[in-house]
């Protein structure tokens, strides 16, 4: 499964009001693993950033003057995103800006090109109702190191969000069982009577127990409390 974690920086908050994208950062995941096949663009928005936006991303108007316009990278960007699941924090904001840029070029809207869009802000609100669910707040909650994030930056934020997403969804795929394969194996393999064997019980070593405890701690962080395995262990 190919997933792209995406973030943008903009000149302001209103795509409908004429604000434009100034930076796009994308991080690729394949089977939930970072591939290093990332994309990063600075863009000339053909207008100045609002003062409040400058305080957020710190990307000066002067710096962007010689950068390509969105039209120059649109093909490369959309070909890269084509068919993938796109993971965005507060997706409505970024997708709205991308749709506006594509509209100005007379191109199809964003969702018609990509496979699907997953909003990690919506996921976090469902998992942590009533709590702060900004990217920084989620980094703190899930143990993701965001100490290098003094200003917003599209590529850095996409890299952080990739880590946050993996933590938010930890264990979702690991516990799936291929029932069809299991059933097939049952029918094709002969059963062995183990009653005549004296099977030794081998306990976990101290190193293995420590590694198990570390996994439980990570699961506790990911679920915002005690994991099911932790509760089951205490009841045993």
For residue 40, the SS3 value is strand
- Among the options 40, 50, 89, 152, which is catalytic? 152
CB neighbourhood size of 163 (10 A): 19
Handedness of CA 161, 166, 168, 172 (dihedral sign): positive
Rounded to 5°, the CA angle 13-55-48 comes to 60
User: What DSSP character marks residue 230?
Assistant: H
Q: Which position has the token pair 């005690």?
A: 226
227, 215 Cβ separation under 8 angstroms? no
Let me know if 152 is a catalytic residue.
yes
- Residues with a catalytic annotation lie at 152
């Amino acid at each position: 499964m190919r997933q792209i974690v995406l973030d943008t920086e903009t000149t302001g908050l209103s795509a409908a009001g004429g604000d434009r994208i100034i930076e796009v950062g994308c991080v690729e995941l394949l089977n939930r693993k970072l591939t290093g096949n990332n994309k990063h663009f600075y863009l000339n928005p053909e207008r100045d950033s609002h003062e409040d936006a400058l305080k957020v991303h710190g990307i000066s108007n002067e710096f962007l003057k010689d950068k390509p316009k969105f039209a120059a990278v649109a093909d490369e960007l959309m070909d890269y995103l084509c068919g993938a699941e796109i993971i965005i924090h507060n997706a409505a904001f970024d997708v709205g800006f991308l749709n506006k840029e594509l509209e100005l070029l007379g191109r199809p809207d964003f969702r018609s090109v990509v496979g699907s869009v997953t909003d990690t802000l919506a996921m976090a609100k469902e998992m942590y109702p009533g709590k702060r669910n900004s990217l920084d707040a989620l980094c703190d909650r899930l143990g993701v190191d965001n100490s290098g994030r003094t200003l917003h930056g599209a590529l850095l934020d996409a890299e952080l969000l990739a880590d946050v997403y993996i933590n938010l969804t930890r264990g979702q795929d690991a516990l799936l069982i291929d029932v069809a394969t299991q059933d097939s194996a049952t029918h094709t393999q002969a059963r062995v009577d183990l009653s005549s064997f004296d099977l030794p019980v081998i306990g976990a070593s101290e190193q293995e127990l420590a590694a198990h405890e570390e996994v439980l701690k990570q699961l506790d962080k990911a679920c915002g409390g005690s994991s099911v395995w932790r509760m089951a262990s205490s009841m045993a």
